[in-house]
């Protein structure tokens, strides 16, 4: 058997040698370049992006120190949360028991796919991992679209139901644009084509065609009582600009304009002093109001809680990458309030607030998803430099074991932004 294998290898090597001799030099060089490009990311970490004019980063640590901090936390995050799905060549972001019986949620899958694509170059296995994350997403489609992801899977990798979670889909779609910019789309996966198909499905099934607000899921129909309701943290204007730029669909401009108008109304009417928005907003078409208690998830659905805590990060990113003044104005109110209410001390940040800016009773403890999002928001104005420096140090005063998947994964995502390594596809 061994002798036959050696003979076969010799024959194959000879055939390859003859083929190489017969090919013109320019074809050989092209093949060689394609191999190199497949192995080397086009935008390896760190990128040190030139953000929009006026954006700041921590000033009391060097760029090298920030990059090293991101690398170090990434290694811990990977070890803790990236999992192989039973040897199927599929990777997923492990929820780590923070959501009952769920093993994975599309929200985490989207976070992970963005993080891994941005850490390519430092992580030599990034494309392999990304493709495995993509394979897991494709293996769990919604009942209404093969391009959108079923929002959660149990420990035996069975979908809990066939509905989507819009925020997860938006991050996965954005990650595909990053992957195309990072590795190109001529390989095994056409990232750009997949991303464009997903963006089209999001626009068709998860954006309200009347109010242009963002719907919570793709199973909400026009006759549903939730048809004009939204999760505030699903508004991701920087994502939408990338969606427009990579598809040519100007509908995303309408989505951006409508939701900035909605959020401005919510700030003025319900949170004039703090500038906060609630986890969920109801009646986006004509009488927007904070959701009532227990609308969908908890008694705090109408307050600034574990969904809305992502809003400062999502909105500030639009100014950081695109210089949109609407974003700076909106988070500027939040920055002014949070510095005042904490007296400039990060350890006074609570895990949740009323829209009036008061602590939710009993929430006097640190939550990284709140803290790191305030840090991204602080980047929009040099007046926040001291505050941002304090937040950077405070973020790194906690070990990964002190928080769950949600806080640590948001921290990982936002450290890339704060360190100056978040780029637009």
**Active-site residue list:** 107, 167
- For 315, half-sphere exposure in the C-beta direction (CA atoms, 13 angstrom radius) is 30
Structure-block tokens of residue 211: 């109010």
Question: Three-class SS of residue 258?
Answer: helix
| Backbone Cα Rg of the chain | 23
Closest alpha carbon to 422 in 75, 245, 105, 175: 175
Rounded to 10°, the helix 166-183/237-247 angle is 50
User: Residue 296 and residue 276: Cα distance in Å, rounded?
Assistant: 19
Q: 288 to each of 159, 210, 220, 304, 327, how far by Cα in Å?
A: 33, 14, 18, 16, 20
Scan for tokens 């242009």, then name that residue.
212
Closest alpha carbon to 301 in 231, 213, 366: 231
First CA to last CA distance, the chain:
51
User: Residue 140 and residue 136: Cα distance in Å, rounded?
Assistant: 7
Specify whether the CB–CB gap between 138 and 195 falls below 8 A. no
Structure-block tokens of residue 125: 């296995």
Under DSSP, the state recorded for 282 is: E
């Amino acid at each position: 058997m061994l002798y036959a294998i050696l003979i076969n290898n010799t024959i194959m090597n000879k055939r390859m040698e003859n083929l190489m001799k017969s090919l013109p030099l320019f074809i050989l060089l092209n093949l060689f370049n394609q191999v190199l490009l497949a192995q080397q990311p086009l935008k390896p970490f760190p990128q040190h992006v030139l953000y929009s004019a006026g954006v700041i980063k921590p000033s009391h640590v060097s760029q090298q120190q920030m990059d090293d901090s991101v690398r170090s936390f990434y290694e811990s995050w990977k070890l803790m949360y990236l999992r192989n799905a039973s040897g199927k060549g599929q990777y997923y972001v492990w929820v780590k028991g923070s959501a009952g019986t769920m093993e994975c949620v599309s929200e985490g899958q989207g976070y992970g796919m963005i993080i891994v694509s941005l850490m390519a170059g430092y992580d030599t296995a990034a494309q392999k991992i990304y493709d495995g994350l993509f394979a897991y997403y494709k293996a769990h489609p919604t009942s209404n679209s093969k391009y959108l992801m079923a929002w959660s899977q149990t420990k035996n990798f069975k979908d809990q139901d066939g509905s989507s979670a819009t925020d997860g889909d938006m991050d996965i779609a954005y990650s595909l644009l990053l992957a195309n910019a990072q590795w190109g789309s001529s390989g095994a996966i056409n990232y750009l084509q997949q991303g464009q198909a997903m963006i089209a499905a999001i626009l068709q099934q998860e954006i309200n065609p009347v109010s242009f607000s963002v719907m919570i899921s793709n199973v909400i129909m026009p006759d549903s009582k939730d048809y004009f309701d939204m999760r505030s943290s699903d508004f991701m204007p920087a994502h939408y600009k990338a969606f427009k730029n990579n598809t040519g669909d100007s509908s995303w401009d309408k989505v951006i304009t409508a939701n900035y108008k909605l959020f401005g109304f919510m700030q003025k009417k319900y949170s004039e002093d703090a500038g906060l928005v609630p986890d969920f907003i109801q009646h986006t078409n004509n009488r927007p109001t904070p959701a009532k208690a227990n609308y969908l998830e908890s008694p705090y659905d109408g307050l600034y809680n574990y969904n809305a805590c992502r809003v400062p990060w999502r909105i500030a990113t639009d100014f950081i990458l695109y210089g949109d003044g609407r974003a700076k104005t909106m988070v500027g109110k939040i920055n002014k309030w949070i510095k005042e209410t904490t007296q400039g001390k990060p350890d006074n940040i609570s895990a949740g607030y009323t829209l009036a800016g008061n602590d939710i009773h009993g929430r006097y403890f640190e939550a990284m998803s709140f803290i790191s999002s305030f840090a991204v928001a602080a980047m929009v104005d040099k007046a926040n430099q001291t505050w941002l420096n304090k937040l950077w140090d405070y973020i790194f005063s906690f070990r990964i074991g002190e928080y769950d998947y949600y806080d640590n994964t948001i921290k990982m995502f936002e450290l890339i932004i704060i360190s100056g390594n978040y780029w637009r596809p």
